[in-house]
Amino acid sequence: MMKYLVMMIFMMPMCLSYNMFWMVQFMFMFMMFMFMNMSVSIMNFFNLSYMLGCDMISFGLILLSIWITFLMIMASESLNKNNFFKNLFLFNIIFLMLMLYLTFSTMNLFLFYLFFEGSLIPTLMLIIGWGYQPERIQAGMYLLFYTLFASLPLLMGIFYIYKEMNFMIMYMMKFYDYNLVMLYLSLIFAFLVKMPMYFVHLWLPKAHVEAPISGSMILAAIMLKLGGYGLLRMLMILQKMNLSLSYIWVVMSLIGGFFISLKCFCQIDMKSLIAYSSVAHMSLVIGGLMTMNYWGFLGSYILMIGHGLCSSGMFCLSNINYERLNSRSMFINKGMMNFMPSMSLWWFLLMSSNMAAPPSLNLMGEISLINSLVSWSWWSMIMLMMISFFSAGYSLYLYSFTQHGKYNMSIYSFYSGTSREYLMLMLHWLPLNILVLKIDYSMIW
């Protein structure tokens, strides 16, 4: 695991030299293939070195991080074209990737906390430095204070665990089970905010709308998954407590998912709609994790990977439109089928994945999650039906609103999709639908 870390550290000086934009991207791609071909043990931790190790959960999420980082650079071509602090941008992205890699692969609980918080800084830099509107400062503050407010109790909880156990290695913690309400709340709350759960989700749409395309992609694809990953690791030592209190989170997330789905229909900003749909999908993941059964854990993991690829692809699409029309309003982005019929196909493919149509990973994940939630209580069927139905509804709403209809007469110049954009969309969609063939890797850890 150390070799990839060293590789990323040595990529940093490349940012300082002239004209290295695509070289950095190529290096990430190279690293992705190296990491993908690593020897994998399905049952245990593997590739242990120093404080780092990797099991199936970490493996999938690190792979997703490298993949999305490589696509982020690809999507930010306008920065390269306008020479808008591109070296600093690349440095920021490599530093963010470093933090994410360490978060997912460290076995030490305190270091996990450190890198979990550390990934906030480059994200904040992305939003404030490369965002679009002046409101980005407010969005950055929302992101920072929501996360930090919830994280201090987590730090206290980690210190308490260290006092009790005298070690910090996550793998060993499976032998402990704490039955303490305050510890439970303090350890879990930070991850619920990061997910984000309904009631503490307000930072997400703000941050998404103000972030540049690269910021939106990493926020949707990886930042939300940090919460899910943290819950997967933490619930291991809080099983007894969680069995008695899980109904609160399940009910909140299901009802919240339903409300957010309704809220999606009120949006007129494309990015805002996609951001709210992320909250709806993540509410299912929280529900599945909190049921604490096998299907729930598997389904949440698969949906996290699937949603990462799908949501990121949809943000790319909205950015492609934004670069053409300089607006994300759905009233201006109408009738796109007249201008870019080929792009319409990609809109359709990614929207269909978003509404969990086969053969996407989202479908596999949602089937597992529905299975786990219905086995937990069959009353959850009502909300699950609503969420599934409305997720198809707002995906169709966004697709038909942007692609069909009479296009805006104020458009005076236009250019069609470039090969870079089509490649980028294909690299989002292909793994999302091809990984279903190797679903056994996600289903037997």
pLDDT exceeds 90 at position 437: yes
Give me the pLDDT at residue 416, please.
Answer: 86
Question: 378-381, long-range: CB within 8 Å, 24+ apart, which pairs?
Answer: 380/250, 380/254, 380/287
Model confidence band, residue 16 (pLDDT cutoffs 50, 70, 90): confident
pLDDT exceeds 90 at position 18: no
pLDDT exceeds 80 at position 68: yes
Taking only the tens place, the pLDDT of each residue in 80-105 is 999 999 999 999 999 999 999 999 99
Give me the pLDDT at residue 145, please.
Answer: 94
Model confidence band, residue 408 (pLDDT cutoffs 50, 70, 90): confident
Give me the pLDDT at residue 409, please.
Answer: 84
Radius of gyration of the chain (CA): 21
Q: 426: which 2 tokens?
A: 């294909």
- Structural domain for 19, as ranges: 1-443
DSSP 92-114: HHHHHHHHHHHHHHB-BHHHHHH
Q: Is 296 exposed, middle or buried (0-12, 13-18, 19+ CB in 10 A)?
A: buried
End-to-end CA distance of the chain: 20
Q: How far apart (Å, rounded) are the C-alpha atoms in residues 36 and 42? A: 14
CB burial readout 35-71, b (16+ within 10 A) else e: beeeeeeeeebbbeeebbbbbbbbbbbbbbbbbbbbb
Q: How far apart (Å, rounded) are the C-alpha atoms in residues 235 and 231? A: 6
Does the pTM exceed 0.85? yes
User: Is the separation of the CB atoms in 361 and 435 below 8 Å?
Assistant: yes
Give me the pLDDT at residue 74, please.
Answer: 95
Taking only the tens place, the pLDDT of each residue in 285-341 is 999 999 999 999 999 999 999 999 999 999 999 999 999 989 999 999 999 999 899
Give me the pLDDT at residue 61, please.
Answer: 96
Taking only the tens place, the pLDDT of each residue in 123-169 is 999 999 999 889 999 999 999 999 999 999 999 999 999 999 999 99
Model confidence band, residue 407 (pLDDT cutoffs 50, 70, 90): confident
234, amino acid identity: M
Q: What is the mean pLDDT of residues 229-251?
A: 94
Q: What is the DSSP letter of 407?
A: P
Give me the pLDDT at residue 443, please.
Answer: 82
Q: Is 409 exposed, middle or buried (0-12, 13-18, 19+ CB in 10 A)?
A: exposed
What interhelical angle do 341-354 and 294-325 show, nearest 10? 160
Q: What is the mean pLDDT of residues 396-425?
A: 90
Contacts of 71 (CB under 8 A, 6+ apart): 217, 312, 316, 424, 427, 428
Number of domains in the chain: 1
pLDDT exceeds 80 at position 200: yes
Give me the pLDDT at residue 50, please.
Answer: 86
Q: 108 has which bridge partners?
A: 169
Q: What is the mean pLDDT of residues 64-81?
A: 95
pLDDT exceeds 80 at position 413: no
What is the DSSP pairing of strand 52-54 with strand 46-49? antiparallel
Give me the pLDDT at residue 415, please.
Answer: 83
